Homo-oligomer: A and B are copies of this chain.
Amino acid sequence: MRIGELAGSTGVDVETVRYYEKSGLLPPPAREANGYRTYGKTHLERLAFIRHCRALDMPLADVTRLLNFVDRPASDCGDINVLVDQQIGRVKARLKSMRALEKQLTALRRQCSEPHSTKECGILHELVSAAHGEACACHAEH
C-alpha cells in the first residue's frame, strides 16, 4: 500500500501521514526501489488508532504515550486511566468556558438588533465601555 491509499482509507491527508512519521508517531515504512513508501496492515491500524485518539482531541504527545502502552502489552495500565482522566478534565474545563462565552456573546448581541450608525451601535458601546472598566452586558458579574 502506498501513502495515498493509506491516507485515503483512513481519511487522513497525505502530508499529515508524513508529518506523523516525522514526529515519530508512525514508524518509517519500507521503501520501494523508487523511494516510495510502502505500508502494511500494522501501519493502517496504527494510523487509525492515532486518528481515533485525535478525534477525542488528545494531544499528539499523549497519543505517543498511549502507543507506547500498546507496544508493551505486559505493562500496567494505570497511567492510561490518568491520561484519559486528564483529557476529560481538559474537555470539561473548556466546555465550561465555552458555555460562559456563549452567554456573553448572546448578551452582547442583544445590544444591537438593527443596523444603524456605529456611533449608536449597542454592541460597540458595550465593547468600548468595557475599555473604560465599566460594567457591560456581556461580562456582567452574574
Contact = CB atoms under 8 A, between A and B. Distances in A.
Contact of A88 (B57, B76, B106, B121): B106
Given A52-B130, A66-B127, A105 B118 contact: no
Interface stretch (A19-27, A29-37, A107-115): A107-115
Given A69-B118, A74-B118, A94-B98, A127 B49 contact: yes
Interface residues on A, range: 35 or more
Given A105-B91, A108-B84, A131-B52, A75 B117 contact: yes
Contacts of A123: 77, 80-81, 84
Contacts of A120: 77
B131 A46 contact: yes
A132 B46 CA distance: 9
A48 interface: yes
Interface in A30-73: 44-49, 52-53, 55-57, 66, 69-70, 72-73
A97 B48 CA distance: 20
A133 B9 CA distance: 11
Contacts of A138: 56
A13 interface: no
Given A101-B56, A128-B70, A77 B112 contact: yes
